[in-house]
Amino acid sequence: MKEGKDNKIVLLEDDQLEDLFVSLRQRYGYDFTGYAKASIKRRVQKFIDTIEMESVDLLKNQLLRDEAFFKYFLDEITVNVTEMFRDPLFFASLKKNVFPLLNTYPFIKIWDAGCSSGEELYSLAIFLDEEGLYGKSRIYATDISQRVLDKAMDGIYPIDMMKEYTGNYIHAGGKRSFSEYYTAMYGNAIFRGRLKKNVMFSAHNLAVDESFNEFNLIVCRNVLIYFNRDLQERVIELFLKSLPVFGFLALGNKETLSFSIFRDHFEEIDKAQKIYRRIN
């Protein structure tokens, strides 16, 4: 708290949040009005608390006036927490149930939608490599935030995380020694450049941007959870437009197409790991 102020806490109200998001959409084209309220409100409240903003109006004014401040806000309120081989059984299932079918194509196109800082992307690349599929694969890695895309392009992660990631990798059925994939230097693990050789990085906002290609596999895990049902439907429709029949869609293991009007276009090929295939 600022000196001379009492410990007054700025409490964000729902209508203030809505008003803020409408203003930001007009000013910058980023649309958060379709985000799930409980989670995004908590993030914005946390932002207000952290920077000790004295009112919601002041926050709004500064965001509209100062684009650099807005970018900082954007990075803080979007969730970029991820890990390598998160949910090892998902990666095991991908290798067992999806890769053999992808291998029947001469050329494989994969979209990692909401790739964040790239941990999932490198996990995918490693498994494609081990199964001999990487050479004929192109991975399109997209995220709303340029800052995290830059991190994904770097492929450098804290060495302290490698113990946990190695455990996940082994649990997922990795075939090699995990340390073959990175060089340890100055407290970091620098992942091998060849893992990103076939990766195209670009900014893409699922809330407002359109389909840009057709893919054999779309991986979008734990991204839809931040959207309300209406925005989820928009994104699922976007995926449908980006998938040919027999294309795969992988969601987080607590995300489901069961509530979607598009559900009949998909069959569930792994119920626990939420891997779907387009059937019509």
Partner 1 sequence: MLGKIEAIVIGGSWGGIDAVIKILSALPSDFKPTMVIALHRPKNVVNSLEGILKKYSKVPFSEPYDKEEIKLNHVYLAPSNYHLLIEKNKIFSLDVSEPVNYFRPSIDVLFESAAEVYGKFLAGILLTGANKDGGNGMKTIAGKGGFTIVQDPSTAASGIMPSAALRLIKPDFLGSVHSITELISSGKEFIWQ
The residues of the shown chain that bind partner 1, judged by CB under 8 A, are 14, 36-39, 42-43, 79, 81-82, 86-89, 167-168, 171, 222, 224-226, 228-229, 232, 252, 254-256, 258-259
Q: How far is the CB of 164 from partner 1 (least distance, A)?
A: 8
Q: How far is the CB of 254 from partner 1 (least distance, A)?
A: 5
Nearer CB in complex with partner 1: 133/172: 172
- Exposed/middle/buried for residue 146 (C-beta within 10 Å: 0-12, 13-18, 19+): middle
Strand partners, 183: 190
Are the CB atoms for 77 and 47 separated by under 8 Å? Answer: yes
Strands 275-278 and 248-250: antiparallel
Of 198 and 256, nearer to partner 1 (C-beta) is 256
How far apart, in whole angstroms, are the C-alpha atoms of residue 24 and residue 11? 20
Nearer to partner 1, 42 or 65 (CB): 42
Q: How many CA atoms lie within 13 A of 84 on its CB side?
A: 31
CB of 227 to partner 1, least distance (A): 9
Q: What are the DSSP calls for 236-249, one per residue?
A: HHHHHHT--TT-EE
Is 168 or 242 the residue whose CB approaches partner 1 more closely? 168
* Nearer CB in complex with partner 1: 142/222: 222
Among candidate residues 222, 223, 86, the one with its CA nearest the CA of residue 144: 223
Minimum distance from CB of 274 to partner 1 (Å)? 9
Q: For residue 35, what are its two tokens?
A: 């985000």
Evaluate whether 256 touches 227 at the Cβ level (below 8 Å).
no
Nearer to partner 1, 229 or 241 (CB): 229
Instruction: With CA atoms as reference, report the closest residue to 89 among 16, 172, 202.
Output: 172
Integer Cα distance of 109 and 101 in angstroms: 13
Q: Which amino acid is at 108?
A: I
| Among the listed residues 49, 18, 13, the one whose alpha carbon sits nearest the alpha carbon of residue 32 | 18
Please report how close the Cβ of residue 171 comes to partner 1 at its closest, in angstroms.
7
* Choice between 116 and 137, CB closer to partner 1: 116
Q: At its nearest, how many Å lie between partner 1 and the CB of residue 174?
A: 14
**Nearest distance in Å: CB 49, partner 1:** 12
